[in-house]
Amino acid sequence: MIKNILLYIVAIAILFFLSYFSHMAFLDKAQNNTIFDLKSIYLFHSVGSLIIVIAAEILFTTSQSLKEQLGFIYLGTTAFKVLLFFIFFSNILFLSHSVSKSEKLSLMIPLAIFMSFEVIMVVKILNRSVKS
């Protein structure tokens, strides 16, 4: 379990750095600036994804009764993460002026990247229960 958690931490750190700096380089090259701090959005999603995946790993290895419910628990934690995102970043999401398409994409790209990571990792964890 510890080895898997360390692998998740390394993977999410690599994913954060690659995706954030690629995104920033693309925005700089296209000369698009966002009105919000993109790093805080990437940090929120990376930490949230890491917590979700580590929680899934811990529940999988420690609780026999929750193994069958892990998929539903993942859905609940993802909904909670989205709710927290709306709470923490409501000042960005509900601006009085219009948000450009590039800014909307800049909000959605980190969500898609880290949610994909979560899904892949949780599916791998669930597949271990099928094999064992």
Overall average pLDDT of the 11-33 stretch: 91
pTM of the model: 0.87
Distance set, CA 24 to CA 15, 40, 107, 111, 117 (Å): 14, 13, 13, 16, 20
Q: Is 91's pLDDT higher than 70?
A: yes
Distance set, CA 32 to CA 17, 98, 102 (Å): 20, 15, 7
Domain holding 7, by residue range, is: 2-131
Tokens for 116?
């994909």
Tokens for 73?
């628990």
Q: Is 70's pLDDT higher than 90?
A: no
Give me the chain's average pLDDT, please.
Answer: 88
Higher pLDDT: 64 or 77? It is 77
Task: State how many domains the chain has.
Answer: 1
pLDDT at residue 30, as a whole number: 82
Tokens for 105?
């994409």
Q: Is 117's pLDDT higher than 60?
A: yes
Q: What is the DSSP letter of 1?
A: -
